Amino acid sequence: MTLYRAFGLTIDSALELPELPIAAGPADVTIRFGPTPPQLEKPAICRVLYQAQGDRWLMDGGRIVPARFLVQGGQEVVVEQTGPVDASVLRLFLLGSCMGALLLQRGVMPLHGNALAGSRGAAVLTGSVGAGKSTLSLALLQRGHRLLADDISAVYRDPAGRPQVSSGFPRVKLWADSCALLDVETAGLERIRPELEKYHFPLNGAFAPQPLPLDTVYVLLPGPWDAPRVEELHGAAKVRELQAQLYKVLFAEGLRIWPWLFAHSSAVAAHIRLCTVRRPQNPVYLPHLVDLIAEDMAR
């Protein structure tokens, strides 16, 4: 077992996690290999790949990954391989869906987005799959910004109730077309899964390892816009949009934590800005979009 640090947690793992920095001290979470049930008893929610009941969440990778993952009590992840599987694929699911479920079990709000360090705190780029979160993140990294978290931004609240974003790990995942658009050479980069043209991009010093106060959430809206535009939301619209950007939002339904989550997201929304960002699909507008976000982060 080796101790690692991510999402504000010290993780004791039987599986090597080279993406994560090494840690010390008592563990908050344990990842171990062992038997898992094929299904939960009377699950509150049952989807194609996962089911949940109370403080237990079970994912069966099926044809995607021959393994089952049991997340329970916000303290433990049990992994059972059901067939040959590459360790990189196990890590992908452990550090993605499993961490999203575990953070919710621990009362932490996981946003589906990339967090970057700005002069006023953390800025989280959120949006639907394909909205351009990673592309915009890399473009901002190329401008000298630092990454705090990729894909999952873990939002805690400090003793005064102010939201903080904890660091994830020093890599960003990029599709081949994003790499080509931003002149990143993929030769020598590790694929996140052997069959996908999506790569781990090491940050090489552009990682922010300490938590930062959450300043702004940007919701990317790709479309046939004629120019990028940032618009700040207020009131109930702001809270609804923040809730919509949760990582794997349906996990909360299975864990039956909506009352807590509504109160938590409302409290977080009171402390932050939330802006929608019109993102033109034509890549010719990307430099303009990067300028717009960078200027807004430095306002």
21-52 tens-digit pLDDT: 999 989 999 999 999 999 998 888 888 888 98
Which contacts qualify for 36-45: CB closer than 8 Å, 24 or more apart? 36/68, 36/69, 36/70, 36/78, 36/79, 36/80, 37/70, 38/68, 43/254, 44/253, 44/254, 44/255, 44/256, 45/250, 45/253, 45/254
The residue with tokens 């790709």 is: 222
13 and 159 part of one domain: no
174 and 213 part of one domain: yes
16 and 153 part of one domain: no
Res. 167: pLDDT tops 60: yes
66, 83, 106 - which closes a domain: 106
Q: Domain residues for 116?
A: 110-297
User: How far is it, in rounded angstroms, from Cα 225 to Cα 152?
Assistant: 27
- Size of the chain, expressed as the number of residues it contains: 299
CATH code of 195's domain: 3.40.50
106, 123, 153 - which closes a domain: 106
43 and 134 part of one domain: no
Number of domains in the chain: 2
pLDDT of residue 247: 82
25 and 140 part of one domain: no
Q: What does pLDDT average to over the chain?
A: 91
Mean pLDDT of 83-107: 91
pLDDT in tens, 213-242: 999 999 999 999 999 999 999 999 999 999
Dihedral pair phi/psi, residue 147, rounded to 5°: -90, 135
The residue with tokens 């690692």 is: 4
Q: 253 CB contacts (<8 Å, ≥6 apart)?
A: 44, 45
18 and 102 part of one domain: yes
* Cβ neighbour number for residue 138 with a 10 Å cutoff: 23
230 and 136 part of one domain: yes
42, 74, 106 - which closes a domain: 106
58 and 202 part of one domain: no
90 and 117 part of one domain: no
174 and 286 part of one domain: yes
pTM of the model: 0.91
Res. 262: pLDDT tops 90: no
36 and 80 part of one domain: yes
75 and 116 part of one domain: no
Q: How far is CA 51 from the centre of its chain?
A: 20
User: How far is it, in rounded angstroms, from Cα 166 to Cα 8?
Assistant: 5
